[in-house]
Structure 1
């Protein structure tokens, strides 16, 4: 029962993160000036907002991995308690 709740919580967190990142991407596309839309991008550097998104995404991936590890440890700990 507790494991099921932990998995549901993990899934909910992942879905919220995915939605938040999608919302950020939508906001960035809205913030791009209309005169820039449709033009070929020839810059060698990515747009600053892309860099921010990448940084945020990487930070959230690290956090998600920590949460997965924590859920795994909690599940293992719970199994040990049940055995004893």
Structure 2
């Protein structure tokens, strides 16, 4: 997406940031991936506990 404003062109910020490989962006992406993995593990543990509880 390109937006023309006041004789200058402002490009889609997400594309600009992704193409620059800013260390902060990379760190945040890594943290997000870690959090998602931890959340998935927690969800699986909850499902196992619920299944065990229903069996007893």
Give the TM-score, by structure 1 length. 0.44
**CA distance 1:76–1:45, change in 2 (3 Å):** same
Give the TM-score, by structure 2 length. 0.65
More strand by share: 2
Q: How much does 1:42 deviate?
A: 8.1
Structure 2 counterpart of 1:75, from 50, 53, 56: 50
Bigger radius of gyration, 1 or 2? Answer: 2
**CA distance 1:59–1:43, change in 2 (3 Å):** closer
Structure 1 unaligned segments of length 5 or more: list them.
Answer: 1-38
Q: How much does 1:46 deviate?
A: 1.4
**CA distance 1:66–1:42, change in 2 (3 Å):** closer
Structure 2 unaligned segments of length 5 or more: list them.
Answer: 1-9
Aligned residues: 43
Distance 2:18 2:44 in 1: 39
